[in-house]
Amino acid sequence: MIPSKLVEAIRDAQHVCVVTGAGISAESGIPTFREAQQGLWEKHRPEDLATPEAFSRDPDFVWQWYRWRRQLVSKVAPNAAHVAIASLADTVKTLTLITQNVDGLHQRAGSRDVIEFHGNLFVNRCFVEGVIVDVDDDIETAPYCPACAARVRPGVVWFGEGIPADAIQRSLAAAAGCDVFLAVGTSSQVYPAAGLAELAQDNGACAAEFNLEPTPLSSQFDHCVIGKAGTTLPELVELVS
Ligand code: BV8
């Protein structure tokens, strides 16, 4: 059930800011971070694998986890929630889409100018220089940088690493400047991404959470829409259009 006040707020909005998390890709078949890890990595928490320390310790093991995720993402398609957000951008005056996901599914659903807050699975960087490198990444072991021979890592933001300057600047501006803020499919546990909702509300935005279940931040939102994003987002777009 989408609150009519939320529909009206979006219709009247000059700027809508949407932040998505792993839950929006769940119906495409991508396991979320909170679900038990699978296969080789089932004994490891993502927080322990997605770190520079883990990569330094065992680059090939961490590399294989990302390769497995790239292969999985390559086999799936965006779902109705991704498509709904892409069409919402054509319905409202200005929409800023910030995603914590690294799967590129928003872009494949037609969203443009997506802010990839935590980078992208399909970009590779030199572990030492940080620059993007063009390597064959469909191999079992972490490649070597063609320039300096250091190991190559996935172009994602790991725990303990800063958010790319452009992404954080654009996201803070959008959260502080929007009239409506939507948090979709995120457990709101990872910062600074999880702090964007509060920044939006501190600046007068109406904030709504779209999730399967309540999260630690649910009580701070103006609206909480419970349900699968693949159902609730298309319903929202239908009502707003
Ligand atoms: C930073 C990319 C500082 C990699 C990710 C010690 C040192 C430094 C920092 C910290 C520290 N201790 C804590 C921190 C802060 C840390 C943090 O927040 N830790 C947490 C664990 C407490 N943050 C950081 O480290 C960040 N950097 O602080 O840097 C700094 C500053 C300057 C200079 C240097 C350093 C960087 C964090 C980025 C980590 N990288 N991803 C990769 O993908 O491998 S995080 C990763 O996890 C995701 O990107 C996402 O952000 C997060 C998972 O969250 P969700 O997306 O919400 O997914 P989750 O599974 O949790 O939840 C899914 C939700 O969907 C659920 O609520 C579920 O109910 C719902 N759902 C499921 N199905 C559906 C659905 N909803 C709707 N429909 C459905 N069908």
Dump pLDDT digits (tens) for 152-207: 999 999 999 999 999 999 999 999 999 999 999 999 999 999 999 999 999 999 99
Q: Check 44, 106, 118, 223 and give the catalytic one.
A: 118
What average pLDDT does this structure show over 204-218? 97
What average pLDDT does this structure show over 85-114? 98
Instruction: Report the distance separating Cα 148 and Cα 4, nearest Å.
Output: 57
Residue 143: is its pLDDT beyond 80? yes
Computed over every residue of the chain, the mean pLDDT equals 95
> Is the Cβ atom of 64 under 6 angstroms away from ligand 1?
no
pLDDT of residue 46: 82
Residue 44 bears catalytic tag: no
Contact predicate 210/184, CB 8 Å: yes
Helix ranges, 45-188 (H) = 46-49, 52-57, 59-75, 80-88, 105-108, 165-177
Residue 223: is its pLDDT beyond 80? yes
Task: Take residue 20 and report the two structure tokens written for it.
Answer: 């998505």
Q: What is the pTM of this model?
A: 0.97
**pLDDT class for 38, splitting at 50, 70, 90?**
low
Residue 33: is its pLDDT beyond 90? no
> Is the Cβ atom of 45 under 6 angstroms away from ligand 1?
no
Whole-number Å distance, alpha carbon 36 to ligand 1 midpoint, is 15
Nearest alpha carbon, ligand 1 atom 62 = 187
% residues pLDDT > 70 (the chain): 98
Contact predicate 40/72, CB 8 Å: no
Cis previous bond, 234, omega within 30:
no
What average pLDDT does this structure show over 52-66? 96
pLDDT of residue 126: 98
Task: Take residue 119 and report the two structure tokens written for it.
Answer: 């980078």
Instruction: Report the distance separating Cα 165 and Cα 220, nearest Å.
Output: 27
Instruction: Report the distance separating Cα 89 and Cα 118, nearest Å.
Output: 21
Kindly give the number of the ligand 1 atom that is closest to the alpha carbon of 23.
Answer: 65
Instruction: Report the distance separating Cα 92 and Cα 11, nearest Å.
Output: 7
> Is the Cβ atom of 100 under 6 angstroms away from ligand 1?
yes
> Is the Cβ atom of 120 under 6 angstroms away from ligand 1?
no
As beta bridge partners, residue 151 has 144
The per-residue pLDDT for range 88-100, each reduced to its tens digit, is 999 999 999 999 9
pLDDT of residue 39: 60
What average pLDDT does this structure show over 229-238? 98
Nearest alpha carbon, ligand 1 atom 33 = 162
Contacts of residue 199, Cβ cutoff 8 Å, sequence gap at least 6? 172, 175, 176
Instruction: Report the distance separating Cα 54 and Cα 64, nearest Å.
Output: 12
pLDDT of residue 84: 98
Contact predicate 23/185, CB 8 Å: yes
Contact predicate 21/191, CB 8 Å: no
> Is the Cβ atom of 53 under 6 angstroms away from ligand 1?
no
pLDDT of residue 230: 98
pLDDT of residue 40: 58
